[in-house]
Structures are given as structure tokens and as C-alpha cells.
Amino acid sequence: MANLGDSRAYRLLDGRLEQVSVDHSVVQELVDAGAITVAEMATHPERHVVTRALGGPDAAEPDFFLLDRSDRLLLCSDGITGMLEDDQIAAVLGAEKDPRAAADRLVADAVRAGGLDNATAVVVDVVGWEAAAGGEVPQQVSLEEKLGALPDSQP
């Protein structure tokens, strides 16, 4: 997974929401330096200042993340994360079984909460992971193999 800017990537795994990406913003740099707390990010006067972004005059380097497994992924703008707490996001992702319905509900909830910024959400259900023998280590299985539709290997 790649990230650039202040839109975020989350994963839902076994019912727990985890932020995968790190914001490229002034307030995130201040938190990392110990100058402000995470709670102070929401009201800081420079909370909308992005330090790396796509489409700027200089080529910006994204961060890359390798996920070993996940049940569901959420990619969202700061219009979602700025209006909803992580526990609210997790509740929606856990309650809505259809990914499109989950994304629509996150946007609607963010707008209802005040809608102070653009609210965009993409929810992806991850398929193709099966537990290895004994169930300890996940291994990736192709969708074709999982569904029994392997391509013909004959030349």
C-alpha cells in the first residue's frame, strides 16, 4: 500500500481498526517531535498544512506499507477522519457488511457530524487469505484457486 498526503489508510482485522498510513502534515510532524499531543492535532491552527502531496511542483516520495493480512481496508480523506472518531469508523466497518454501504455510511456520518471538509471513503473487502495448516500463519491464495476456476495450464 502506498500513501502520500493526509488521506489515510486503515485496516480492520479481527474487529480492530488500525491506522496503517502516517499523515504527511505539519501537525503529524509536531506530534512525532513531541511538541503537541494527538488530541491537540484536531484544533491546531496548522492542521491542514500538508508537507507532502501528489501533484506539487516537486516529486514527492510516498510511504509504502506491506500488510501481511487484513479483513477490510478503508482509504479515506481527512473529511472522514476529521469528523469521526476511530471507534465510530470501526463500528460502521463492522456493522455494514457491504463495502459500498460502509463507504456511503461513513461519508453520510461525516457530513451529519458537520462536514467541514471533503468526505471520501473507499472500503475494500480483502479476499484470498486462508489459514495455513494449524491456522497460525496466513497464506495468500488466488481468487481463482479459492473459487475453483484455475486457468488451464496446458500449452
**For the whole model, what pTM was predicted?**
0.77
Nearest-angstrom CA–CA distance, 140 and 138:
7
pLDDT band at 74 (very low <50, low <70, confident <90, very high): very high
How far apart CA 66 and CA 48 sit, in angstroms, is 27
Q: Work out the pLDDT band at 40, boundaries 50, 70, 90.
A: very high
Mean pLDDT is lowest, of 35-49, 92-106, 118-132, 140-154, for: 140-154
* Integer Cα distance of 59 and 81 in angstroms: 26
CATH 3.60.40.10 fits 2-147, yes or no: yes
Residue pLDDT, tens place only, 98-140 = 999 999 999 999 999 998 888 999 999 988 765 544 454 445 5
CB–CB of 62/3 below 8 Å?
Answer: yes
Please report the pLDDT score of residue 27 as a whole number: 94
